[in-house]
A and B are shown apart, each in its own frame.
Chain A
Amino acid sequence: MSMNTQGRPTGTGSAGAAATGSALLPNEPLLFEIGDTDHSGVDLPDVDLDVSFLGGFERQTPLDLAGLTEPEAMRHYVRLSRLNHSIDSGMYPLGSCTMKHNPRLNEKIARLPGFSDIHPLQPISTVQGALELMNQLSHWLLTLTNTAAVALSPKAGAHGELLGMMAIKAAQEAAGQAHRTVVLVPESAHGTNPATAAFLGYTVKPVPAKADGTVDVEAVKAALSSEVAAIMLTNPNTCGLFEPQVIEIAQAVHDAGAFFYCDGANFNAIMGVVRPGDLGIDAMHINLHKTFSTPHGGGGPGAGPVVLSEALAPFAPVPFVRRAGSGLELVEHVEGSALGRVTAFHGQMGMYVRAFTYMLSHGGDGLAQAAEDAVLNANYVKARLDHIFSVPFPDYPTMHEALFDDSFLRDTGVSTLDFAKALIDEGFHPMTMYFPLVVHGAMLIEPTESESKQTLDRFCDVMAELAQDATNGNKERFTAAPMRAPRRRLDETRAARQPVLTWEKPNRLPKAAE
């Protein structure tokens, strides 16, 4: 990322403000400071209205919405976009987020009118191609996981988790096991796991990890009882390790009458290489926006289909696609269905199209290769840096992520956060920090398969050089970082103490003074 620090503007805009700053590092005023209620970027006729159908509910409150003409809008959003780091502009090694390349073929296909311009409630006879796509996507997901059924509809990973745990709850209730109210969650789990379990009324019981970073089978066995409904386990886990005893864990969980929910956030490391169904999982969500490269879009949309084992398949929600004669039908209602539906309509079709296009491009062979390359890249980063950075769990090869702790920063006065912010000045997005919680000052690096050896080498060189500078006492470079970004460090305390969540017009001068 190249930045013109000389041109950085100071101060804030006011109504009617023009943009300031350099073209490459703009200080863009807010939409409400540039536009006004008269400007518009669309040409729509103003028509006469018959208001007799509005029942007296016409708007009285002013909208006060700022508008921009088309050229102004183009500039506002292009200038704003320049303030973002993105995968297309540089490495984005955020652990557990799988920021891989987003092929543009996927975008092109998703915009074909036959996919983008179809309504979820059109007659089924007019959307056979869409159902076929859902059917084929399901086939790929089932083949890659060796499971019995898939529910496509969840809107994102956390939503998929919710659905998977709902299915487990429904299955336990159907089996007369409603008294099972405990869910085991390893301490290293992503925050959505305990949040999901608690959401469904379960008591969360943490399971400690062993010193080597993997889940302790004995601890799981000790925690299992007739009260336990399920275990939620991420595999590969959030420390980037494959759980070597996952099959024993699954066996013990099943023996105790509980289910095995697998958080599939890290499926990218094993797709085409290991099938979670072979490990004994009962439910697993797959983040299409991670593993199958649908773009993250600044925080979504995602898609979180859930694969289900034979035991849970009867508890899948609606809708689902099935063969009917020579065509396909969409089952939208099942009498007595335990779950019903978790979203309006049929889920994230736009994401299904992108993910399926990505799967076809890669093929089964390419997906396996991508997983292997993702693992290769993480191990390469680990190997290049493990003599400088401390590796908390050195016993196993890592999977798709390299995890370091902050012990190399001891007594330097530089925090993990400072170190990460210094990476910004070198053109890299920081790694995931302070997660997983089980590692002090964790730094979790997920390069993904998309990074070339040259990029990885440069990243490792920069990391090594920064580490050396930190231990050499050049504290300022870190505590003041970033210095070459569109903004310096932001005051998050102020934002939280006096939340300003919407724009308000600055107080106008009294009339007489104008």
Chain B
Amino acid sequence: MRYLPHSAHERSEMLGVIGAADIEALFSAVPKSAFKSFELALPSHQPEFRVEAYMRTLAGKNHAAGDGPFFVGAGAYRHHVPATVDHLIQRSEWLTAYTPYQPEISQGTLQMLFEFQTQVARITGMEVANASLYDGSTATAEAVLMARRLTKRNRIVLSGGLHPHYRDVVRAYLKDDPDLVCLASSPEGQGDLLSQIDSGTAAIVVQTPDFYGHLRDLKSAAEAAHAQGALLIVVITEIVSLGLLEAPGALGADIVVAEGQSIGNALNFGGPYLGLMATRREFIRQMPGRLCGETVDADGVRGFVLTLSTREQHIRREKATSNICTNSGLCALAFSIHMALLGESGFVRLARLNHANAVKLARMLGTVPGIELLNKTFFNEMTIRLPVPAAPVVEMLAQAGVLAGVPVSRLEPGNAEVENLLVLAATELTTHADIEMLAECLHAAIGEDGQ
């Protein structure tokens, strides 16, 4: 077996040093009834080329996003990742290092995390950011719990524009909690959010651009929340939007959580992704996840360490802010490298390109008879209403090689109001030809279906 260094001879030599007759002797604590008491019905080891051939067959059964026109978004976005990013993150020293618990020999990871935290703080307009969480959805749930700790209040109000999966994750984390108010998901608005805030409210959760692509007024939300002593949690699923849109921190956000996948990370069928969390400096002691901080070494040279660890499970145990341990280190690295390559000018241009392509998409969709665009505002994603249920149309277009977007019914099954709705995204990778083909196919599909 190519991954195991010992020869048979070495194994017996080592058993000799141990003083064990055979390997079974080392498992003597295992109850006899459970030790190798079964025939393992799994295939035997394989040479590399066989494994590769088999995995290629599996991969070949999937339609890759790059195989044709592609408009799928709804919380995960297909962007170009520079070749440099993927090359660098595969370097041994990044890929095969552990969590930087020994700072003297982990300064690469630690300095990168410090740079990453700075980037995230600047993009979101907040004072501090952590070293990542699992993804945007779990980061949202963590933010909700953090707001409860900070305010010592319980009521949480989720806007109807929050990604349905994010809402479901918060529900799972706060199972059966009577103080969790989830406003109905609605393509028209976020529900009557602001009137839901009362003196027992810990936080309101507002996503912008929201699930349907609408841009939300964070300033009024912040003012309404703060007037009652509640916090504003802002959720962002498309981080590229912040190249063009005002920073939530400048509009009064108290906690910003985001999905960072768009920068540096491939679609990967949903994971691994990158949870971002940023907040005010005064709130850091209630922030979950790892934090990297600057300090000096014994020679007075600048260096970095994981800090404020007493918040975490390995020290605080049952009193920890969260049970999180492993986070998304390598995804944070990919994000940070890609963001460094973009720089301010590149990030802004990327956002502008995305918006420009989305405007083209919106205009073209407007020419298809029977299609209604629901958005007055959007960044790179929008919702249209078809004259027929959206899911079969999407399936029909997929057969033609066009991945048209996400039928809202996939995330909100059984809700008649959304059955005909389709959420579509455009990015810098969307071409004019893609948009034309989509419009043609939609036209054909609706026409056929309508008759």
Are A and B co-members of a single complex?
A: yes
Shortest Cβ distance from B294 into A: residue: A500
Known: A47-B356, A117-B66. 19 other contacts (CB 8 A): A10-B299, A59-B244, A109-B55, A111-B86, A113-B64, A115-B59, A117-B65, A122-B63, A130-B62, A156-B326, A191-B317, A192-B313, A298-B113, A349-B268, A356-B55, A361-B48, A375-B26, A376-B11, A492-B103
Q: Does A490 contact B (CB under 8 A)?
A: yes
Distance of A487 Cα from B100 Cα, bound (Å)? 13
Residue of B nearest to A136 (CB): B58
Contact A118 B51 (CB under 8 A): no
Whether B42 lies near A195 (C-beta < 8 A) is no
Q: Which of B255-274 contact A (CB under 8 A)?
A: 259, 266-273
8 Å CB contact of B100 from A44, A119, A191, A299: A299
B288-330 with Cβ < 8 A to chain A: 290-305, 307-308, 312-320, 322-330
Is B347 located at the chain interface by the 8 A CB criterion?
yes
Partner of B94, one of A122, A272, A297, A435: A297
> Quick check: B55 and A496 within 8 Å, CB to CB?
no
CA distance A435 to B136 in the complex (A): 32
Q: Which of A83, A97, A346, A449 has the most CB of B within 10 A?
A: A83
Q: Is the CB of A84 within 8 A of B272?
A: no
Are B333 and A297 closer than 8 Å at their CB atoms? yes
A126 to B96, CA, bound (A): 33
Task: For A364, list chain B residues within 8 Å (CB).
Answer: 40-44
CB atoms of B36 and A273 under 8 A apart: yes
Contact across chains for A301 and B271 when beta carbons are under 8 A apart: yes
**Which residue on chain A has the smallest CB distance to residue B75?**
A344
A348 located at the interface, meaning its Cβ lies under 8 Å from any Cβ of chain B in the complex:
yes
Q: List 17 A-B contacts (CB under 8 A).
A: A36-B343, A63-B123, A67-B344, A128-B62, A195-B313, A196-B323, A242-B30, A301-B326, A303-B272, A341-B168, A344-B259, A363-B45, A370-B4, A384-B17, A397-B29, A449-B3, A500-B295
Number of residues from B at the complex interface, CB < 8 A: 210
Interface flag for B150 (CB, 8 Å):
no
Partner of B298, one of A55, A130, A366, A489: A489
A411 interfacial by beta-carbon distance below 8 Å: no
Query: With an 8 A cutoff between CB atoms, is A365 at the interface?
Result: yes
A360 part of interface (Cβ distance < 8 Å)? yes
A83-B111, A120-B269, A143-B41 in contact; A357/B51 too (CB < 8 A)?
Answer: yes
B14 touches A453 (CB 8 A): yes
CB distance A502 to B4 under 8 Å? no
Q: Is A291 in the interface zone, CB < 8 Å from B?
A: no
Determine if B61 and A114 form an interchain contact, defined as CB atoms under 8 angstroms apart: yes
A88 to B131, CA, bound (A): 24
Closest chain-A Cβ to B203's Cβ sits at a distance in Å of: 18
Q: Known: A80-B108, A162-B323, A340-B172. Contact between A247 and B34, CB under 8 A?
A: yes
Interface status of A332 (Cβ within 8 A of chain B)? yes
* B134, chain A: closest CB distance, angstroms: 4
Q: Using Cβ atoms and an 8 Å threshold, which residues of chain B touch A383?
A: 17-19
